[in-house]
Chain A
Amino acid sequence: MKKPYVLVAVAMVLGSILAAGEEAGAIPAFARKYQTSCSTCHVMFPKLNAFGEAFRLNGYQIPAPDGDEPYMKDKPLQLEAPAWKDLWPQAIWPGTIPGMPPIAIRFITHLEITQDETKAYRTNFEFPHEIEALLGGTFGNDMGFFGQIEFKHPNQVALQQAFLKIQDPLTNIGLPVPERAFNLWVGKLDPNYVPSYRNFTRVFRVHPLWGNKRLSDLRLINPDTGASIGAPTTGRDRNRFRLQDFQPAVEANGILFKRFGYSLGLTQGQEEVFDTNNHKDLYYTVRLKLGGRALDGTLPGKEVTIEAPPTGGWVDNAISIEHFGYFGQFRVQATPSRIEDDFSRFGVALNGTFQNLDLAVGYVFGHHDNPLAPDSFQGVDYKSPFVKAEYMFLPWLMGTVRWELLEVSRPSDLVAKGFTVSSLDQQRWLPGVAFLIRANVRVDIQGEIYSVHRESEARNRNKPHTLWVRLDFAF
């Protein structure tokens, strides 16, 4: 008699996986879905650890060989039976919606103490600074969504993010594309140009200079006369583009050979709903991660597991090399003749994480062809090097320091007229400490100390140093 084989029939699952235990739900939407701690995905929220980054890249699904489903504790509502997939395109592709509303709330509160330009101290209670509604989940395998709505005082409501991640669309319809190699993300999203120095999952209170400062903020100052150029006037505008903004975009991205990530996107060019011209901006990013958890979530020789080590899940000994390019156009004058400012940004960063230390160094630079037209038709250069270091002293205690510099060149024709000071030129240090009172409650004490602040200097005034105490919690 031949040796029989014991098999498990796997295709017909089963809708009846064992229910989770009765422990209280964790926090926010993803934590509730998987009944897991924030520290599964975050180092010091919202900063992601390597597992959280793999989860994000995987369309908000656990990147495990078993797939996402066995890890879910919130049973999703099946919209169509899975077998309908076999009849596509004669049937709707089956999907799910979250079983419980995929909503989380975040409160951010600031105490801000500023020594302003007159050397007077100003203390401000921003209680709260903002409240955010965060939405996130999946519509079955290979489709994730995320949304962020901000409520700010007084009466400001802003839709910050709202996008859909369609993972592996070509693979799913049978084309010979490797899994994870091609995804399509559509909506208002974070292009995430420099992952190691990211904008919206940063620990620091303030955005990086290279992300925050735009050419419309530029004023050129004549220190002798006090005259300046740069304020918008009728019929003209200034280039309001900045890298930190979420943008309406269509982005193709993917992971190749586990450790190489790419994205290629087409964006509105500005945050506003209606563009100022018919040009769509283009960007690309590439990243290579050596060592540690790969971008697809795998660890060499290990299974991917979902876990929240009480001693911290931040250790991921790795080096990442990142690069992006952005090519845009902004209309700076509509009448009497149209004038466009063609511009670019490039960035390169090196990020090393070793044990408790996360170190990144990088450089963002770019060029504007025509930002000050019609006052000048010469271009300007934009450059911003940066360094950051974050150190986990304890699972709940992080020390941070950041240094960054921004310089924007001055058109020679305006320099010849005495406009020698660029208001955007800044150099600052951002020391701080962040600690978790609970996994979902964070306190930050951070400083913003300027060693260069040209606009203030041009007026012979003090640099506006600031100290923040921030309370941040989500549930």
Chain B
Amino acid sequence: MKRGRRFALSLVLALGLFPLAGGLGAEGGGTIVGTVTWGPQRLYNAVVYLEKVEGTFPPPQEAAVMAQRKLTYVPHVLPILVGTTVNFTTYDKELHNIKALQEKRTIFNFGMPPGAEPVPKTFRREGVVSLLCSRHQEMSAYIVVLQNPFVALTNEEGEF
């Protein structure tokens, strides 16, 4: 009961194909908008995506960025298409590391000293990747690796 996080999703659905507003973009189709609630709250930074969309979706040429700034990861939540490369970079003057977990296993772990060059990593498996820093254990971020580009992040009102 305490562990299961349940989200309510209310949708206003325009018929046809997608893309989602604010998502990674696709051509044609309609638009899905809605609100994500969690208990009594509207949920900020929730990832709303479509699952099992037919077709092949090549990853973008341009790398996404996950930064460490003022002892936090920025952005906190980063949805990407499978096969996307993410450049990990730091702006802090403190030593960090980047420890990435997927399905409870460490998939990489490397140091990020101040002034380090960006480190590219390509994500080839769908799922949620948790990012940690062993030196600052409160730091966290999530990369959501998706099969297709139809995705949106909710705004502060829980809307997407």
> Does B27 belong to the interface (CB within 8 Å)?
no
Q: A2-B54, A86-B104 are in contact. Are A7 and B1 (CB under 8 A)?
A: no
Once bound together, how far apart are the Cα atoms of A38 and B44, in whole Å? 29
- The interface residues of chain A lying within 8 Å CB-to-CB of B39 are 64, 66-67, 69-71
Q: A10-B5, A78-B138, A82-B140 are in contact. Are A18 and B158 (CB under 8 A)?
A: yes
> Does A206 belong to the interface (CB within 8 Å)?
no
Residue ID in chain A nearest B18 by CB atoms: A4
- The interface residues of chain B lying within 8 Å CB-to-CB of A83 are 101, 130-132, 140
- The interface residues of chain B lying within 8 Å CB-to-CB of A8 are 7, 9, 36, 46-48
Do the beta carbons of A79 and B138 come within 8 Å of each other? yes
Q: Restricting to A118-174, which residues have a CB under 8 Å from any CB of B?
A: 141-142, 167-168
- The interface residues of chain A lying within 8 Å CB-to-CB of B15 are none
Residue ID in chain B nearest A10 by CB atoms: B5
**Chain A proximity mask over B21-56: 1 for CB below 8 Å, otherwise 0:** 000000000001000101111111111111111100
Q: A4-B52, A79-B138 are in contact. Are A14 and B4 (CB under 8 A)?
A: no
Do the beta carbons of B7 and A12 come within 8 Å of each other? no
| Interface size of A as a range | 35 or more
Do the beta carbons of A12 and B1 come within 8 Å of each other? no
> Does B77 belong to the interface (CB within 8 Å)?
yes
Do the beta carbons of B144 and A12 come within 8 Å of each other? yes
> Does B157 belong to the interface (CB within 8 Å)?
yes
Residue ID in chain A nearest B138 by CB atoms: A78
Residue ID in chain A nearest B139 by CB atoms: A81
Q: A9-B46, A16-B76, A81-B137 are in contact. Are A61 and B40 (CB under 8 A)?
A: no
**Chain B proximity mask over A53-86: 1 for CB below 8 Å, otherwise 0:** 0000000010111111111000000111111101
A86 to chain B, nearest CB (A): 4
- The interface residues of chain A lying within 8 Å CB-to-CB of B3 are 67, 141, 179
> Does A227 belong to the interface (CB within 8 Å)?
no
Once bound together, how far apart are the Cα atoms of A82 and B131, in whole Å? 10
- The interface residues of chain B lying within 8 Å CB-to-CB of A71 are 39-40
Do the beta carbons of A18 and B130 come within 8 Å of each other? no
Once bound together, how far apart are the Cα atoms of A333 and B11, in whole Å? 75
Q: Which of A6, A87, A179 contacts B9 (CB 8 A)?
A: A6
Do the beta carbons of A18 and B44 come within 8 Å of each other? yes
A289 to chain B, nearest CB (A): 17
Q: A7-B49, A8-B36, A8-B47 are in contact. Are A14 and B76 (CB under 8 A)?
A: yes
Residue ID in chain B nearest A80 by CB atoms: B137
Interface core residue of B1, B6, B32, B44 (most chain A CB under 10 Å): B1
- The interface residues of chain B lying within 8 Å CB-to-CB of A437 are none
Q: Which of A10, A68, A69, A82 contacts B7 (CB 8 A)?
A: A10
Once bound together, how far apart are the Cα atoms of A84 and B130, in whole Å? 9
Q: Restricting to A275-313, which residues have a CB under 8 Å from any CB of B?
A: 296, 305-306
Q: Which of A67, A81, A84 contacts B1 (CB 8 A)?
A: A67
Do the beta carbons of B2 and A61 come within 8 Å of each other? yes
- The interface residues of chain B lying within 8 Å CB-to-CB of A64 are 1, 39
> Does B123 belong to the interface (CB within 8 Å)?
no
- The interface residues of chain B lying within 8 Å CB-to-CB of A84 are 132, 137
Interface core residue of A8, A63, A83, A91 (most chain B CB under 10 Å): A8
B28 to chain A, nearest CB (A): 12
Residue ID in chain A nearest B72 by CB atoms: A15
A286 to chain B, nearest CB (A): 22
Known: A2-B52, A17-B38, A67-B5. 18 other contacts (CB 8 A): A7-B51, A10-B5, A10-B46, A14-B77, A16-B76, A17-B41, A18-B42, A18-B44, A18-B158, A61-B2, A67-B39, A81-B132, A81-B137, A81-B139, A82-B140, A83-B130, A87-B104, A296-B1
| B residues neighboring A (CB under 8 Å) | 1-7, 9, 11, 18, 32, 36, 38-54, 76-77, 79, 101, 104, 106, 128, 130-132, 137-140, 142, 144, 150, 156-158
Sample (26) of A-B pairs whose CB atoms are under 8 Å apart: A2-B53, A4-B52, A5-B50, A6-B51, A7-B51, A8-B7, A8-B9, A8-B46, A8-B48, A9-B47, A11-B128, A12-B144, A13-B38, A13-B43, A14-B43, A18-B41, A18-B42, A63-B1, A64-B39, A66-B6, A70-B39, A80-B138, A81-B130, A81-B137, A86-B130, A306-B40
| A residues neighboring B (CB under 8 Å) | 1-2, 4-18, 61, 63-71, 78-84, 86-87, 91-92, 94, 141-142, 167-168, 179-180, 296, 305-306
List of 6 A-B pairs having minimum Cβ-Cβ separation, nearest first: A70-B39, A81-B140, A12-B142, A83-B130, A9-B47, A66-B39
